[in-house]
Amino acid sequence: MQTQMKIPIIEMDGDEMTRILWDSVKEKLILPFVDLKTEYFDLGVQERDRTNNEVSVRAAEALMEHGVGVKCPTITPTPERVKEYGLANDVVSPNRIVRSKMGGMLFRMPICIPAIDPLVPNWKSPITIVRYVYGDVYRGVEMLADKGDVCEIVLRKANGDVLSKNVHEFCETGGMVQAVHNTDAGIEAFARCAMGFAVEMKQDLWFGAKDTVSKVYDRRFFEIFDEVYHSEFVVRFESEGIAYHRMLIDDAVSRALRSGGGFVWACKSYDGDVFSDMVATGFGSIAMMSSSVVSPSGQVLYEAAHGTVQQHYYRHMRGESVSTNPIGLIYAWSGALRKRGQLDGLGGLCGFADALERAVAETVEDGVMTADLFQRSVSENKREASSFDFILEVAERLARRAIL
């Protein structure tokens, strides 16, 4: 398909099993059908090490310039990984570099296919998690304390006043301390983004925090959400017939499990990190989750929600057949292509993204699926496929659609 793409999609390659599948998805499902234009950055751990993280910074800058990116999962090195790959530099997570440059919200939405029943049987429609990826423990300052140490927190006010509070006196034993922060402007942008998305989806918005315990920090989140809702969204919510529900986070978890799904769940960063895995698993598999980061100025990065699937990679390298599910990776590509198409008025590109997703659903509906779905499917004609066979089966169906 001649797409007339003028502005490139920023392509960020990754590591291990997902790097191998990335190649195969591109070769079999994208390049034969689309006249693709990308600006390629290799965010594989060795290239990040060789460039001392510069490649991640350049990729983030290119994304901010061109607006749409697609990213393969990458290794966040631990001491074991540094040894395994013989890394010389402090190779930090590119997600951290890219997300902090974007300063955005993370959206996680399950990919629901009728042939796969959710693990939580009452979940009939997707639950989208909107995670605010700034601050809290992810920007925390931490220290170890020894027995006898005293910890205080000090706030130097702009007017010269100094406020301080005692945190803890470590009289009996040592321990640790942590200081976290967030900003009014960031939370306001988060509230506006989540509420705008709920209106777009025509679904209720939930937001949970723990203001019974955190009477200043978490309460501030609620206050700002209330302000944004009452000053900007009440009328739009009412005209769509949707509601904003604020609740304690533990109540939100219990209600979410009992619900039928079909709502937008705004989460503080840590809650979103944890509950997005729960929601993905509850709908079927971590591989069946699409993920995107959206910046306040509209740049979007599409990813899969899972990691590099390390253990499958080792099996693949030993020559064994693996059945890693590539659907999350395929949806990262379809999301990026559709967005580029929408921004540049390229209807053909949007149509291709839809056709690709339909070809994936049709393949699973026909009973062809990877091991994770095979274990869960109740389909009578199901057959377990390797990753590469699955991609070929999708390609066959996509080619039929492209011809029609």
Contact footprint for Mg ion (CB under 5 A): 273, 277
Say how many C-beta atoms besides its own lie within 10 A of residue 389's C-beta: 15
Q: Residue 74 touches which of Mg ion, ligand NAP, none (CB < 5 to 8 A by kind)?
A: ligand NAP
Residue 59 near ligand NAP by CB under 6 A:
no
Residue 287 near ligand NAP by CB under 6 A:
yes
Output 198 or 359, the one with its CB closest to ligand NAP: 359
Query: Is there a contact between 16 and 44 (Cβ–Cβ < 8 Å)?
Result: no
Q: Distance (Å, rounded) from C-alpha 211 to C-alpha 397?
A: 51
Nearest to 208 by CA among 142, 260, 262, 274: 274
Residue 287: CB minimum distance to ligand NAP, A:
3
Which residue is it, tokens 């291990």?
16
Question: Where in 311-330 is the site for ligand NAP (CB under 6 A)?
Answer: 311, 324-325, 328
Residue 80: CB minimum distance to ligand NAP, A:
9
Residue 404: CB minimum distance to ligand NAP, A:
29
Measured at the alpha carbon of residue 250, what is the angle toward residues 273 and 279, in degrees to the nearest 5? 40
Q: Distance (Å, rounded) from C-alpha 153 to C-alpha 141?
A: 12
Residue 337 near ligand NAP by CB under 6 A:
no
- Amino acid letter for position 403: I
| Structure token pair of residue 18 | 């997902």
Paired sense of beta strands 105-110 and 289-294, if any: antiparallel
Instruction: Outline where 28-146 has alpha helix (H).
Output: 45-50, 54-66, 79-84, 94-102
Residue 273: CB minimum distance to Mg ion, A:
4
Output 67 or 272, the one with its CB closest to Mg ion: 272
Applying CB under 6 A, the span of 182-190, 306-314, 358-366, 388-396 interacting with ligand NAP comes to 306-314
Residue 402: CB minimum distance to Mg ion, A:
36
Residue 73: CB minimum distance to ligand NAP, A:
4
Query: Is there a contact between 74 and 44 (Cβ–Cβ < 8 Å)?
Result: yes
Output 71 or 268, the one with its CB closest to ligand NAP: 71
Residue 277: CB minimum distance to Mg ion, A:
5
Q: Residue 284 touches which of ligand NAP, Mg ion, none (CB < 5 to 8 A by kind)?
A: none
Query: Is there a contact between 283 and 243 (Cβ–Cβ < 8 Å)?
Result: no
Look at residue 374 and give its three-state secondary structure. Answer: helix
Q: Distance (Å, rounded) from C-alpha 193 to C-alpha 20?
A: 34
Q: Residue 277 touches which of Mg ion, ligand NAP, none (CB < 5 to 8 A by kind)?
A: Mg ion
Output 111 or 309, the one with its CB closest to ligand NAP: 309
Output 4 or 311, the one with its CB closest to ligand NAP: 311
Tell me which residue has its CB nearest to ligand NAP. 307
Q: Distance (Å, rounded) from C-alpha 201 to C-alpha 194?
A: 10
Q: Which residues bind ligand NAP (CB under 6 A)?
A: 73-76, 95, 286-287, 303, 306-311, 324-325, 328, 372
